[in-house]
């Protein structure tokens, strides 16, 4: 099993071992586009692994800060009190780059950039870039994906649409 994220299509696919899609979700990648450099607020491309799964059993809309639940549950009222917060909700799949010099180690290290697949408020648009580097998902979708994939599942992030099965950056 593996995951493929298409930046062009703003989609995430869960694929079986033969490459056949099992699930497809609308997502939101970085508003600044693709890129690997620390501080760029871009979504890193290439091969990654799910290094950690965080939030098992937590209620939907649980708020995370620095990968820890804050004890808050996201509501529109909470959002109004903290309008500039980048909401990380419900579950986190923390990514680690698998390509030294491209998305691993040094100024391009995906894990040190704290890049996740994570839940978002239902008010956040999916299908359009909007994050500061992570891959945002609907809460119900991240819960389903979280329960389906084990740690160290491969995650390929590509720039192009993936209908043809091509996996070039």
Beta bridge partners of 96: 49
Instruction: Answer left, alpha or beta for residue 101, where phi above 0 means left and psi between -120 and 50 means alpha.
Output: left
91 band by pLDDT with thresholds 50, 70 and 90 = very high
Asked if residue 47 lies in contact with residue 99, where contact means CB atoms within 8 angstroms, the answer is yes
Per-residue pLDDT tens digits for 25-36: 999 999 999 999
Per-residue pLDDT tens digits for 107-125: 999 999 999 999 999 999 9
Domain range 2-158, its CATH number among 3.40.50.300, 2.40.440.10, 3.10.350.10, 3.30.1370.60: 2.40.440.10
């Amino acid at each position: 099993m593996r995951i493929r994220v298409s930046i062009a299509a703003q989609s995430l696919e869960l694929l079986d071992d033969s490459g056949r899609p099992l699930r497809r979700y609308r997502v939101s990648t970085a508003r600044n586009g693709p890129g690997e450099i620390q501080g760029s607020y871009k979504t890193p491309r290439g091969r990654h692994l799910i290094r950690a799964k965080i939030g098992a059993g937590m209620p939907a809309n649980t708020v995370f800060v620095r990968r820890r639940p804050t004890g808050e549950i996201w509501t529109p009222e909470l959002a109004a009190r903290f309008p500039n917060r980048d909401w990380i909700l419900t579950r986190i799949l923390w990514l680690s780059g698998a390509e030294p010099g491209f998305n691993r180690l040094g100024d391009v290290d995906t894990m040190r950039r704290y890049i996740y697949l994570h839940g978002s408020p239902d008010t956040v648009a999916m299908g359009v870039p909007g994050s500061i580097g992570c891959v945002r998902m609907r809460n119900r979708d991240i819960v389903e994906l979280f329960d389906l994939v084990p740690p160290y599942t491969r995650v390929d992030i590509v720039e192009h649409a993936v209908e043809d099965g091509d996996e070039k950056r």
